[in-house]
Chain A
Amino acid sequence: MLDPRRAQRYRRHDLIDWFSQDQVAGARVAVIGAGAVGNEVVKNLALLGCGAVDVFDFDTVELHNLTRSVLLRESDAGRNKAEAVAERARELDPHVTVRAVPGDFWDTLSLSRLQGYDCAVAAVDNFEARLRLNQLCLIARVNLVNAGLDSRWAVVESFPYASSDDAACYECTLPESAYGRIAERYSCGGLRRRARIERRIPTTAITASVAGALAASAALRLGGDPSPHARRRLIDTLGGAGSTSDLERRAGCPGCGRYGRPPQLVHIRNRWATLGEGPGLGLEAVTTQPLQLSDALVTGYECAACGPLEEAARYVGRRAAEFDDGIATCSRCAEASVRVEIRDAFTVGELMERFGRGRVPAKFALAEIGGRAVCFDLEEN
């Protein structure tokens, strides 16, 4: 039940027969990305009276963002986008809880935290972030809404992971060329490329507002979409034409194809000693249990010409994503001759040997146990 002041604010909403203010006020939404679409989504959620909105972004505001970011001002230049957007959204409706989560969502959005939301909105600007958020939502069984745009088109896709084990995932219709673009960001050894010009895609406030409106509506499931199917809505913002298509699950999909059904999520929080109590695992089998980590780790660092290097200690045992291909240049001979070994597949025994009881620097580990996919959540919160 809303307090009288809030009830007065939403009295026009109450005249809409398909709109439940109570339902909206109870919704908790994570918005990943506080760029053009993220601004619009957060603005809409705040105006609608959504219960709680958390905004995730690592980036800072630049002047060129202002042409399509409804919540940002010139005075925000240099600030973290999530913080600036959350602050402005709270001004729209002080009753809505809007929190900023600065930083890369891969570091700040744990599976446990994600399970506390009704929906996550992908308002990011690259394929890699979408693939990662898709994985998290699949595992946590949280609905995902993906929004994208260019200078003319707006697209919003809904993936009802919370209510359907058979829904298509974001990767089910993703073309091979998208993986090629992700691969361009990495050297053949798996390290990020230092020298690379990112493709810039021009967008406008028009496409952002259309995508943001549809995404907020989908996140709150306004109109009560009972469809168990994943759906895509594509809008031509120049003429207003649009199409809706059903997305079907693809056998062998790189995203969801590895699971027959969503994996069982086990929160072990890096307490490896408790792993033997996990589902279907006998203690004797624990050390040889193969795992695939969510993050590739640097496991070896040696120059082909000079041999072992002192600085190996700086890299080995850390996430490969923390480094670029500059570390493949030897500090002694200055040649690009360092062999950087990177792995994401380990046994439990190998991880225990490498990290002891310390934290394994990964979000989660996937295993197949008794014919069922199991995901071990490695984060604390």
Chain B
Amino acid sequence: MSQSLKLYVRTADQTRRAEIDLDAGSTGADIIQAAVDNWALPADTDYTLVNTTTGRALAPGEDLGKGVRPGDTLEVQPVLVAG
């Protein structure tokens, strides 16, 4: 049986924030996709996920059950490509 994880997710500008229950097998990519879909974030931008509780950026595809603890806050940050 998969374990559920209660987390907070927010955008980098902190105008969007949600408390979520997450299956331990979920990945950062799942969170990002849900944020883009539910918050209508610009789809032509790429995003990365940072655990602001630990100050650590999460690797794409990382199993959140390993790098995240209940109550942590994950921030969806844009990947900036212009120079």
Contacts and interface: CB of A to CB of B under 8 A. Distances in A.
Contacts of B59: 172-173, 248, 250, 253
Nearest to A181: B46
A154 B83 CA distance: 10
A283 interface: no
B80 A154 contact: yes
A178 B58 contact: no
Contacts of A38: 83
A33 B82 CA distance: 11
Contacts of A245: 50-52, 55-57
A149 B80 contact: yes
A55 to B, nearest CB: 13
A175 B80 CA distance: 12
Interface in A216-272: 232, 234, 236, 239, 241, 243-248, 250, 253
Interface residues of B, number: 29
Contact of B80 (A33, A148, A250): A148
Given A181-B46, A234-B77, A236-B13, A246 B57 contact: yes
Contacts of A124: 83
Contacts of A147: 83
B60 A174 contact: yes
B81 interface: yes
A127 interface: yes
Contacts of A248: 56-57, 59
Interface in B26-83: 29, 32, 44-48, 50-52, 55-62, 75, 77-83
B20 interface: no
B73 to A, nearest CB: 11
A173 B80 contact: no
Contact of A243 (B58, B75, B81): B75
Given A173-B57, A173-B58, A247-B57, A178 B12 contact: no
Contact of A173 (B45, B48, B83): B48
A175 B49 CA distance: 9
Contact of A176 (B14, B29, B78, B80): B29
A148 B13 contact: no
Contacts of A75: none
B58 to A, nearest CB: 7
B34 to A, nearest CB: 14
A148 B81 contact: yes
A2 interface: no
Contacts of B14: 241
A37 interface: yes
A149 B82 contact: yes
A35 interface: yes
Contacts of A150: 45, 78, 80, 82
A362 B10 CA distance: 44
A100 B83 CA distance: 18
Residue of B55, B77, B78, B83 contacting most chain A CB atoms (<10 Å): B83
6 contacts: A37-B83, A152-B13, A173-B48, A174-B60, A201-B81, A243-B77
Interface of B: 12-14, 29, 32, 44-48, 50-52, 55-62, 75, 77-83
Interface of A: 33, 35-38, 122-127, 130, 147-150, 152-155, 172-178, 181, 199, 201, 203, 232, 234, 236, 239, 241, 243-248, 250, 253
